[in-house]
Amino acid sequence: VGPMRDVLNRIVNDEPVRPSRVRKGIDRDLEAIVLRCLRKEPHRRYQTAGELGRDIERYLSGEAVAARSDSGLYVLGKTLRRHRVSVAVAAAFAVLVGVSLLASLSLWRQAAAERDRAVAAQREQDRLRTLADAKASEAEQAREIAERERIRAENQAEQLRRTTYLNRIALARTAYEQRYLTQAYQLLEACPTDLRGWEWHYLSRLSRDPTLLDIRADEGCVVSLAMSPDGRRLATGGCDGVIRVWDSATGTVIKQLNGHADQVNALAFSPDGRWLASGSRDKTLRLWDPSTGSHKMLQEGKEYLNAVRFSPDGNCLAAGGQSRVLAFWDVRNGQISRTTPAHDKEISCIAYSPDGKHVVSGELLNPSIGNCTIRIWDAATGQSVRNLLGPPGAVLSIAFSPDGTRLAAGGGVSPTTRDAQGTLKVFDSGTGEELLSLRGHEGFVDAVAFSPDGTLLASAGVPRTPTFGLESDRTLKIWNAATGEELYTHSAHNRGGRAVVWSLDGTRVFSAGMDGRLKSWPSTLPSEARVLQGHSGSVLRIVFSPDGRRIASCGAEIEGELTTEQASDDAIRIWDTETGAQLTT
C-alpha cells in the first residue's frame, strides 16, 4: 500500500474512489449515500446515524435522497482548491489562449473588414472602369463624328477657297482688261500661293506692268511735256520739232502743231489753258493756240531756249536758255518787258512760285564751282533775292511745292568724281535751308514735280554721258516729299525720262522720254486687296462701271456637297469699289 505518508496524503487530499468505478451497475443514489459518508469535511457528512438511516429509507422507498444535493459547482470548487497550482497554470494558460483567441478574432475581423473594403473598392473600380469604358466609347464615337464633320467642313472650305480663287482670277482679268491695274494686282496678291496656276502667273505678269498709258509720241525722243490746267490735255515736244496735243484720258492725238525746225526743249500751258508756249533749239519762242494750231512768234534767230514758264496770272512768260539771260514777255502784246542777266552758264530751267512773287532759275554745268547755282528772283523787279547751291554738275529741273514753301531741284552728277548718282535736293524756299538731299538715280535727274497735294515728289532720270561708261538710268521714282523716303521705282524709258507732270487729282504721273514714248503711271503703291463678300456660289461675270466707282457681279451655282441655300446664287449684285459695300441686289 506504500508508505504511510503517501497513504495519509491521499486520504487527506484525494477524493474517495466512486463505487461505480469499482463495480459497474451500482445505483447512483446509493453511490451518493456512500460518498456522503466518506466526505472529508465534517459538515458535509451525515451528522447523525438517524440522518443516515432516514436517507437510506428514502432510497429504499424511491424518494430523492439528501446525499445527491452536492452540486457540480461544489465538486468543482473542491477540485480547484485541492489543485491550486495546476489550476492557476491552467487558468493562466486559458487566459492566454483566450487573449490569443480574442486577438486573433480581432485581427480576423480587421482582415475581414479590409477584405470587404478591398472587395468594395474593387467593385467600385470595376464599376468606374465600366463607366469609363462607356464614356470612352461615347467619346470615340463623338470623335469619329467630329472627325467626319471636320473633314466635311475642310472639304467645303477648300471648295469655297478654290471658288474664291477662281472668282479673284476672274475679277483680276476684268480689272486688267479695263486697265484698273492696281485692283488687278491687289486681287492677284490675295490669291493663296498653293492655288496659283498658269492663269495667275499670266495675269500677274500683265498686271505687274503698272503702265496705265504707253504710246509712241515721237519717232525720235520726247524732251518736253506739259499738262493743261484742266488736266484734259497733254502737250509733248520732240526731237522732230513737232508739238503734239493729246487727250490725257485716251492717249489719242487731238492736235499736231508744226512750225519748229529743231528739237522742242520746253513747253508750258498758260493758267487759263488758252496758250501753249514752246522754246526750241531752232532759236525760236512761239505762242500757240492749242485748239486751232495758230501761233505767233515771240523770238527768232537768237540763242536757243531751254525753259519757258507762265506767271500764275498768265500775263507774263519767262524764258531762258543759251543766252544766260532771263527774259520776261508780256503775253498780252507779245513784247519783251524785261531782261535780267542771270547765270554764268546757260539757263536750264525756270519755275514760278505759286503766288507769282518769285521766279527761280537754274544753270547747266559749271566746272569752276562744282555745284551749280539756283537763283531766286523778285518777279516784279527782277532783283536777285537769294542764291542756293544746287546739285553738282547741273541744275536740270526745278519745281515749287503747291503751297510754295518748298523748292525741289534735280541735277547732274559730280564732274570731278566718278560718283554716278544724280542728286535731288529740296529747299525751304523762304530761308534757302536745304531740307533733303535725295540720291538714287544712276545718272542725271532731268525732271522733277510735286504732286498736287504736295505729299509726293516724282523724278525722272537720264543717263550720264556715255563716255563715262555707265549704264543708263531709265527710272521714274516716287518719293515721300516730307521724309525723302523712296516709295517705289518704275522702269520707265529705255533711254531715260526727260519730263514728268502730275494729273490734277494726283492719281497718275505722266512721263516722256528719250525713247519717244509717253507713259502714265499710278501714283500710289498697291494696298491690301478688298474682298467683296456676298455671293454664296461662284461669281460668273463681273464688270466695272465706266467711272470705276462700281462693280456689277453675277452669281452662279456651286457643285458639291453644299446645302441648297449655299449652292443657289443667281443674284446680280452692285458694289461700291471704294468701300466694298454692297449697294443693291
CATH number of residue 419's parent domain: 2.130.10.10
One domain for residues 549 and 499: no
> What is the reported pTM?
0.56
Neighbours of 452 (CB within 10 A): 16
Parallel, antiparallel or unpaired: strands 497-502 and 508-513: antiparallel
* pLDDT tens, position by position, 363-389: 887 555 556 789 999 998 888 899 988
* 545 & 397 share domain: no
Averaged pLDDT, 516-536? 63
- Please tell me what DSSP assigns to residue 195: G
Of how many residues is the chain composed?
585
Domain of 416 in residue numbering reads as 342-512
The confidence score (pLDDT) of residue 207 equals 67
Residues 368 and 460 in one domain: yes
pLDDT-based confidence at residue 316 (cuts at 50, 70, 90): very high
Same domain, 508 and 580: no
Tell me, what's the pLDDT at 15? 77
Of 76 and 510, the structure prediction assigns the larger pLDDT to 510
Alpha helix segments (H runs only) across 180-262 = 181-189, 198-207
Are residues 549 and 408 part of one domain? no
CA distance to 11, 13, 77, 80, 89, per residue, from 84 (Å) = 18, 12, 10, 6, 9
Query: In the numeric block, which cell numbers belong to residue 507?
Result: 492719281
Domain assignment present for residue 361? The answer is yes
Judge if 537 and 497 occupy the same domain: no
Average pLDDT over residues 539-555: 65
Q: What was the pLDDT predicted at 394?
A: 81
Tens digit of pLDDT for each residue in 75-100?
A: 566 566 667 788 788 888 888 888 88
Q: Are residues 410 and 438 in the same domain?
A: yes
Q: What is the pLDDT of residue 489?
A: 78
* Residue type at 510 in one-letter notation: F
Dump pLDDT digits (tens) for 98-129: 888 888 888 888 988 988 999 999 999 999 99
**Residue 466 pLDDT more than 50?**
no
Region 16-27: what's the mean pLDDT? 82
Band (400; pLDDT cuts 50, 70, 90): very high
- Paired with 362 in beta bridges are 349, 374
Q: Which residues are CB-contacts of 63 (< 8 A; sequence separation ≥ 6)?
A: none
The single-letter code of the amino acid at 522 is P
Q: What is the DSSP string of 79-135?
A: HHHHTHHHHHHHHHHHHHHHHHHHHHHHHHHHHHHHHHHHHHHHHHHHHHHHHHHHH
Task: Please write the tens of the pLDDT for every residue from 150-161.
Answer: 999 989 999 999
CATH number at residue 43: 1.10.510.10
Lowest-confidence segment of 52-61, 165-174, 289-298, 352-361 by average pLDDT: 52-61
pLDDT-wise least confident of 72-76, 93-97, 564-568: 564-568
Helix/strand/coil percent split, the chain, to 5: 30, 30, 40
| Cα–Cα distance, 374 to 354 (Å, whole number) | 18
pLDDT band at 211 (very low <50, low <70, confident <90, very high): low
Among 348-357, 506-515, 529-538, name the most confident range. Answer: 348-357
Domain boundary, last residue among 32, 52, 82: 82
Q: How far apart are alpha carbons 406 and 433 in whole angstroms?
A: 10
Q: What integer pLDDT is reported at residue 582 of this predicted model?
A: 82
Does 334 map to a domain? no
Looking at the structure, tell me whether residues 360 and 504 fall in a common domain: yes
pLDDT higher at 40 or 135: 135
Domain match, 495 and 423 both: yes
Backbone angles phi, psi at 40, to 5 degrees: -85, -25
Residues 70, 36 share a domain = yes
Mean pLDDT is lowest, of 190-204, 229-243, 522-536, for 522-536
Residue 61: inside a domain, yes or no? yes
Least confident stretch, 138-142, 194-198, 489-493, 538-542: 538-542
Mean of per-residue pLDDT scores for the chain: 81
> Which of 350, 359, 419 is closest to 384 using CA atoms?
359
pLDDT band of residue 266 (cuts 50, 70, 90) is: very high
Same structural domain, 416 and 540: no
For 155, phi and psi rounded to 5 degrees? -65, -45
C-alpha cell read off for 203? 495675269
In a domain, 506, yes or no: yes
Query: Which residues does residue 234 pair with via DSSP β-bridges, in sequence order?
Result: 227, 246
Average pLDDT (506-517) is 77
Buried b (16+ CB within 10 A) or exposed e, 423-448: bbbbbebeeeeebbebbbbbbbbbbb
User: Minimum mean pLDDT among 157-161, 176-180, 253-257: which range?
Assistant: 176-180
pLDDT for 356 equals 93
How many domains is the chain partitioned into structurally? 3
472 domain-assigned: yes
* Residue 527 in this model has a pLDDT that exceeds 50: no
Does residue 324 form part of some domain? no
CA distance 197 to 278: 51
C-alpha dist (Å) from residue 474 to 446, 496, 498, 500: 11, 4, 10, 13
From 512, 542, 562, the end of a domain falls on 512
Beta bridge partners, 555, equal 539
Last residue of a domain, one of 482, 512, 542: 512
**If DSSP codes are grouped into helix, strand and coil, which group holds residue 73?**
helix
User: Do residues 400 and 466 share a domain?
Assistant: yes
Within a domain: residue 489? yes
More confident residue, 7 or 210: 7
46: in domain: yes
